[in-house]
């Protein structure tokens, strides 16, 4: 059986109005055309749908069954049309995002929360990777959008600035640098360092900076991420470079000291890359525009507390903890 969608729609209205003439008035078509479509439906289903009398139309048992299914079909088609329009306008779909560790933990959570609140039918999957792998994933169409850092060029890709962050030095309590408010890299390389993941943006920065000084790095251990680095520093395994955003949050532990890194490369620029934006699916373009707009905002620099303030806070916290343990 082949059903015409307009005939099904008119059939539902006829059943609800119990009148062909009223249905014709509502839909602005001739009553004879409505009557013809009802007759054609009866031919398709091979059974009468209406009992015609002077009072109007009475539905047969077959009509009641057809009405139930016709309403479901029309409802589902309406939902299908609505969802396809959402896809066409970019309000529904999936976006594959690949990014380095730092923007994943610092910038993307807030930016994605705002985006997904505005676009609840778009789903975003995030995969972490090194900068060179991020760009390559976008080139190979394994990711739609990439967020990367460092001095590497995203050859063949559309690339725009995203967010910035600043590196600071963290040390364990009692370390020779623990009371410094500012530290140069030349001072830092005199001590054991908790190194970042090999091949990461931060690793490349440290390697170039050490080469510029003609020095080698005293890396005792390598970890991936700021939180593991902080844990290693707390354990006395060395000093480390982390973002000031992370350092200020971690300061509450009372087991770390921090100082500004007095180097021009301490400020890092993150970038967004994609293939030709005009050729991207609508949901990807929406997220790309959203992140681009966030990247254009002027970020307020954080103010690092002084060494004296950190020492005062640490002493107060230690005293409070001692009182709890007694």
- pLDDT recorded at residue 315: 47
CB 27 within 8 A of CB 10: yes
Do 5-88 and 166-266+305-317 fold alike per CATH?
no
Could you tell me the fold of the domain covering 166-266+305-317? D-Maltodextrin-Binding Protein; domain 2 (3.40.190)
Neighbour-count burial for 69-86, b at 16+ CB within 10 Å, e otherwise: ebeeeeeeeeeeeeeeeb
Could you tell me the fold of the domain covering 5-88? Arc Repressor Mutant, subunit A (1.10.10)
Count CB-CB contacts under 10 A for residue 149.
Answer: 25
Range name among 86-90, 91-95, 97-101, 235-239 with the lowest pLDDT average: 86-90
Instruction: Say how far apart CA 28 and CA 34 lie, in whole Å.
Output: 10
CATH architecture of 92-163+268-295: 3-Layer(aba) Sandwich (3.40)
Q: What letter does residue 286 receive in the DSSP assignment?
A: H
φ, ψ of residue 100 in degrees (nearest 5): -70, 165
pLDDT tens digits for range 135-174: 999 998 889 999 999 777 777 899 999 999 999 999 999 9
- pLDDT recorded at residue 77: 85
Residue of 302 and 238 predicted with greater confidence: 238
Count CB-CB contacts under 10 A for residue 298.
Answer: 6
CB 311 within 8 A of CB 179: yes
Q: Could you give the C-alpha distances from 144 to 185, 219, 225, 284, in angstroms and in order?
A: 37, 36, 24, 7
CB 1 within 8 A of CB 45: yes
pLDDT tens digits for range 23-82: 999 889 999 999 999 999 999 999 999 987 777 788 999 999 999 999 889 888 877 877
**For residue 321, what pLDDT band results from cuts at 50, 70 and 90?**
very low
φ, ψ of residue 281 in degrees (nearest 5): -60, 155
pTM above 0.75, yes or no: no
Instruction: Say how far apart CA 264 and CA 278 lie, in whole Å.
Output: 36
**For residue 128, what pLDDT band results from cuts at 50, 70 and 90?**
very high
pLDDT tens digits for range 180-198: 999 999 999 999 999 999 9
Overall average pLDDT of the 252-270 stretch: 89
DSSP E strands, 83-209 = 92-99, 121-128, 145-148, 158-172, 182-183, 193-195
Q: Could you give the C-alpha distances from 96 to 127, 272, 280, in angstroms and in order?
A: 8, 13, 12
Average pLDDT over all residues of the chain: 86
- pLDDT recorded at residue 86: 66
- pLDDT recorded at residue 281: 86
pLDDT tens digits for range 287-301: 999 999 987 554 555
Instruction: Say how far apart CA 223 and CA 246 lie, in whole Å.
Output: 15
- pLDDT recorded at residue 58: 87
Residue of 125 and 88 predicted with greater confidence: 125
Residue of 85 and 242 predicted with greater confidence: 242
- pLDDT recorded at residue 237: 94
What ranges do the domains of the chain cover?
5-88, 92-163+268-295, 166-266+305-317
Locate tokens 């009557």: which residue? 35
- pLDDT recorded at residue 295: 79
């Amino acid at each position: 059986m082949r059903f015409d969608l307009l005939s099904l729609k008119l059939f539902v209205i006829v059943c609800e109005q119990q009148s062909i003439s009223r249905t014709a008035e509502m839909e602005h078509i001739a009553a004879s055309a409505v009557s013809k479509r009802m007759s054609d439906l009866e031919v398709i289903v091979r059974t009468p749908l209406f009992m015609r009398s002077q009072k109007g139309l009475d539905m047969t048992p077959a009509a009641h069954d057809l009405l139930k299914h016709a309403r479901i079909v029309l409802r589902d088609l309406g939902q299908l049309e609505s969802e396809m329009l959402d896809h066409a306008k970019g309000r529904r779909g999936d976006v594959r995002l690949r990014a380095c560790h730092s923007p994943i933990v610092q910038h993307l959570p807030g930016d994605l929360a705002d985006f997904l609140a505005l676009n609840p039918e778009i789903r975003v999957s995030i995969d972490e990777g090194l900068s060179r792998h991020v760009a390559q994933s976008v080139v190979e169409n394994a990711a739609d959008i990439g967020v990367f850092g460092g001095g590497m060029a995203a050859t063949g890709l559309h690339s725009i600035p995203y967010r910035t962050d600043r590196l600071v030095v963290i040390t364990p309590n009692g370390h020779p640098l623990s009371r410094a408010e500012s530290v140069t890299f030349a001072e830092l390389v005199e001590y054991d360092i908790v190194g970042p993941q090999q091949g990461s943006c931060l690793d490349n920065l440290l390697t170039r900076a050490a080469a510029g000084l003609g020095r080698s790095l005293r890396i005792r251990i390598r970890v991936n991420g700021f939180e593991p680095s902080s844990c290693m520093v707390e354990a006395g395994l060395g000093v480390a470079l982390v973002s000031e955003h992370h350092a200020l949050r971690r300061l509450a532990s009372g087991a770390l000291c921090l100082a500004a890194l007095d180097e021009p490369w301490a400020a890092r620029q993150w970038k967004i890359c994609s293939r030709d934006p005009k050729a991207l699916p609508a949901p990807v373009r929406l997220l790309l525009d959203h992140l681009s707009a966030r990247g254009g905002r002027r970020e307020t620099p954080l103010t690092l507390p002084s060494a004296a303030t950190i020492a005062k806070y640490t002493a107060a916290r230690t005293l409070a903890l001692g009182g709890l343990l007694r």
